Amino acid sequence: MPDDLARLYDGHARALFAFALNLTRSEADARDVLQEVFCRLAARPALLEGVRNERAFMLRLAHNQAVDLFRRRTTREKPELAREDEASTGHPFAASARADEEGFRRALADALGELPPEQRAVVHLKLWEEATFEEIAEVLAISPNTAASRYRYAIDKLRVQLRPLYNEVKNLWTTSNNT
Amino acid sequence: MDDFEQYLKSQPLRAVPPEWREDILAQATAAAGGKPAAVALPWWQAWLWPSPYAWGALAAAWAIILVLNFASQQDSGGPASGDARMTQLEIIAMMDERRLLMDAFYAEINPPHAPPPPPAKLPDAPGATLERQEPEEHPLA
């Protein structure tokens, strides 16, 4: 079992962590989600029996854990406050040495943070997990049409917020490539 | 997917802090050791598992019904006071019996001196009439 757990961790922990971090906006919460997913899998290995897509199944577990965390938090404290406290560690993107890229990633993280969690989850799965709307629907237990409409709404919001910065970064990138 | 979406997609996500790996796996293994999956759930837990709250609510509803039922029996007397009612009936019957005995006793030691008056003439007797009998005029009137 530990070997199997290690295999699962090496294969999926990065994706689960990024997904959980994007949902919770807190490194500590993302760790709790990750920990809980692996504890559940270790305690009940039969959960994965007959599962065709391990990644999708584990993402679903992570999503459920994150939702539970949200529910617990909304009964105890305001999630916005927790989000502000964790703003420095809840950045879901890797750091970049280039200032323009780093600026865009921070702006993207902020824009994602302003999306409702359900839209953020769809955007994450679509862009960074390259999942189809059918797969997203399976992970989030929603219909494919709902997944598609949430994605459209979210991308439109991100486009409005990030378009100026995106154009700027794109121009810089084009200029540096030409020179 | 347009350029903008492609650009978003190209942004690399953060990696898991490497020091977490051993810790998370160790805790997961410990959790599995603490609650082995091979151990089956107790029969009652397995039976209640699909919807324990629903079963709990049902049990609570039955408990309330039983309590209300018991309380209403207490208010209306219940089976214990049924016995009490029977005793009262017996007492009444006994008192009736004593009264009859006493009547019979007094009738024996004090027989009636005069025969009972003849029964009044009933209206439906032969010769009887329902018409009002006018009193005869007083001779002094």
pLDDT interval class at A102 (50, 70, 90): confident
B4 → closest Cβ in A9, A46, A159: A159
Stronger pLDDT, B107 or B70, i.e. the higher one: B70
Residue B37 scores a pLDDT above 50 = no
Range of A93-102, B6-15, B78-87 with top mean pLDDT: B6-15
pLDDT interval class at B31 (50, 70, 90): confident
Using the beta-carbon criterion (under 8 Å), do A108 and B21 form an inter-chain contact? no
Q: What is the pLDDT of residue A126?
A: 94
ipTM above 0.90, yes or no: no
pLDDT digits (tens, 9 = 90+) for A9-68: 999 999 999 999 999 888 899 999 999 999 999 988 888 888 888 899 999 999 999 988
**Alpha-carbon distance A35 to A51, whole Å?**
20
Q: What is the pLDDT of residue B125?
A: 52
Q: What is the mean pLDDT of residues A69-81?
A: 66
Lowest mean pLDDT among A84-98, A120-134, A143-157: A84-98
Residue A78 scores a pLDDT above 80 = no
Using the beta-carbon criterion (under 8 Å), do A13 and B21 form an inter-chain contact? yes
A160 → chain B, closest CA residue: B4
Stronger pLDDT, A141 or B88, i.e. the higher one: A141
- DSSP state letter for B13: B
Identify the CA nearest to A59 among candidates A136, A133, A146, A116.
Answer: A136
pTM over cut 0.90:
no
Please report residues of B whose CB lies closer than 8 A to that of A163: 4
**What is the three-class DSSP state of A93?**
strand
In chain A, positions 46-65, which contact chain B (CB-CB < 8 Å)?
A: 46
Handedness of CA B96, B99, B101, B107 (dihedral sign): negative
- Taking each continuous run of H as one helix and of E as one strand, the counts in chain B are 5, 0
Q: What is the pLDDT of residue A129?
A: 92
Q: What is the mean pLDDT of residues A111-127?
A: 92
Tell me the one-letter amino acid at A49: E
Using the beta-carbon criterion (under 8 Å), do A43 and B11 form an inter-chain contact? no
pLDDT digits (tens, 9 = 90+) for A133-176: 999 999 999 999 999 999 999 999 999 999 888 888 878 777 77
Residue A77 scores a pLDDT above 70 = no
**Alpha-carbon distance A139 to A55, whole Å?**
10
A43 → closest Cβ in B9, B11, B35: B35
Q: Residue A33 corresponds to which tokens in the numbers above?
A: 């989600």
Q: What is the mean pLDDT of residues A116-136?
A: 93
Q: What is the mean pLDDT of residues A70-87?
A: 59
Using the beta-carbon criterion (under 8 Å), do A42 and B31 form an inter-chain contact? yes
Q: What is the mean pLDDT of residues A125-135?
A: 93
Residue A79 scores a pLDDT above 80 = no
Using the beta-carbon criterion (under 8 Å), do B14 and A18 form an inter-chain contact? yes
Using the beta-carbon criterion (under 8 Å), do A108 and B15 form an inter-chain contact? no
Q: What is the pLDDT of residue A12?
A: 92
Check: CB of residue A96 under 8 Å from CB of residue A109. no
Q: What is the pLDDT of residue A81?
A: 43
**Burial status of residue A22 (CB atoms within 10 A of its CB: 0-12, 13-18, 19 or more):** buried
Most B CBs within 10 Å, among A16, A17, A86, to test the B interface: A17
Please name the residues in contact with A101: beta carbons below 8 A apart, sequence gap of 6 or more.
A169
Residue B141 scores a pLDDT above 50 = no
B3-7 long-range contacts, CB within 8 A, separation 24+: B3/A170, B4/A155, B4/A159, B4/A162, B4/A163, B4/A166, B5/A127, B5/A155, B7/A166, B7/A169, B7/A170
Residue A124 scores a pLDDT above 90 = yes
Stronger pLDDT, B43 or B29, i.e. the higher one: B29
Q: What is the pLDDT of residue B136?
A: 55
Q: What is the mean pLDDT of residues A85-113?
A: 80
Q: What is the pLDDT of residue B112?
A: 61
Please report residues of A whose CB lies closer than 8 A to that of B8: 108, 127, 158
Check: CB of residue A92 under 8 Å from CB of residue A121. no
A159 → chain B, closest CA residue: B4
**Alpha-carbon distance A96 to B81, whole Å?**
88
